[in-house]
Amino acid sequence: MTITYISRISYSMLCLMLFFLLTPASAQQNSTTATLTKLDAYYQQALKNWDVPGMAIAIVKNDSVIFAKGYGVLNNKTGGQVDANTIFGIASNSKAYTSAALATLVDAGKLKWTDKVNKYLPYLKMYDPYVTENLTIEDLLSHRAGLKTFGGDLLWYNTNYSREDIIRRMQHLEPDYGFRDGYGYSNLMFITAGEVIEKVSGKTWENYIKETFFQPLGMNRSYTSVNELKGLQNVASPHGFDAAEKPVATTLTAWDNWNPAAGIFTSVTQQAQWMRLQLNRGMYNGKKIFSENANRYMWQVHNATPVSKAAEEYMPSTHFNGIGLGWFLSDYEGRKLVYHGGGHEGMNSRTVLVPEEKLGIVILTNSMSSIMAPIANYTLDQFFGVKNGKDWSQVSLDMMAKAKKTQEESSAKAPKEKKRKTKQTMDLSAYAGTYYSQLYGNAIVTIKDGKLSLQLEPAQALGGTLTHWQHDIFDLDWKNDFALLTPTRVRFLVGEDGTISQMRLDADNPDFHFDELQFVKVK
pLDDT 10s digits, 117-152:
999 999 999 999 999 999 999 999 999 999 999 999
Q: What is the mean pLDDT of the chain?
A: 93
Instruction: Supply angle C-alpha 370, 376, 380, rounded to 5.
Output: 155
Give mean pLDDT, residues 285-306: 98
Q: What is the pLDDT of residue 519?
A: 98
Q: Is the pLDDT of residue 208 over 70?
A: yes
Instruction: Let me know: does 74 contact 236? Beta carbons within 8 Å.
Output: yes
- Cα-Cα-Cα-Cα torsion 189, 375, 283, 83, nearest 10 degrees, comes to -100
pLDDT 10s digits, 59-93:
999 999 999 999 999 999 999 999 999 999 999 99
Q: What is the pLDDT of residue 20?
A: 43
pLDDT band of residue 406 (cuts 50, 70, 90) is: confident
Q: What is the pLDDT of residue 421?
A: 66
Q: In a 10 Å sphere around its CB, with 0-12 CB exposed, 13-18 middle and 19+ buried, how is residue 4 labelled? A: exposed
Q: What is the pLDDT of residue 3?
A: 34
> Which residue would you say has higher pLDDT here, 266 or 6?
266
Helices (H), 108-256: 129-134, 137-140, 163-169, 187-201, 205-209
pLDDT 10s digits, 329-363:
999 999 999 999 999 999 999 999 999 999 999 99
Q: How many CB atoms lie within 10 A of CB 3?
A: 7
Q: What is the pLDDT of residue 420?
A: 65
Those residues whose C-beta lies under 8 Å from the C-beta of residue 60, and which sit 6 or more positions away, are 66, 272, 275, 276, 279, 358, 359, 360, 361
Give the side-chain half-sphere CA count within 13 A for 228.
Answer: 19
Of residues 471, 365, 522, 464, the one with CA closest to residue 43: 365
Of residues 453, 406, 395, 393, the one with CA closest to residue 41: 393
d(CA 473, CA 506): 10
Q: What is the pLDDT of residue 168?
A: 98
Q: Can you list the positions of beta strands (E) in 203-358?
A: 239-241, 247-249, 265-266, 283-284, 287-288, 303-305, 321-323, 328-332, 335-344, 347-354
pLDDT band of residue 408 (cuts 50, 70, 90) is: confident
Per DSSP, 1 falls in state -
Longest dimension (CA), the chain: 94
pLDDT 10s digits, 459-487:
999 999 999 999 999 999 999 989 999 99
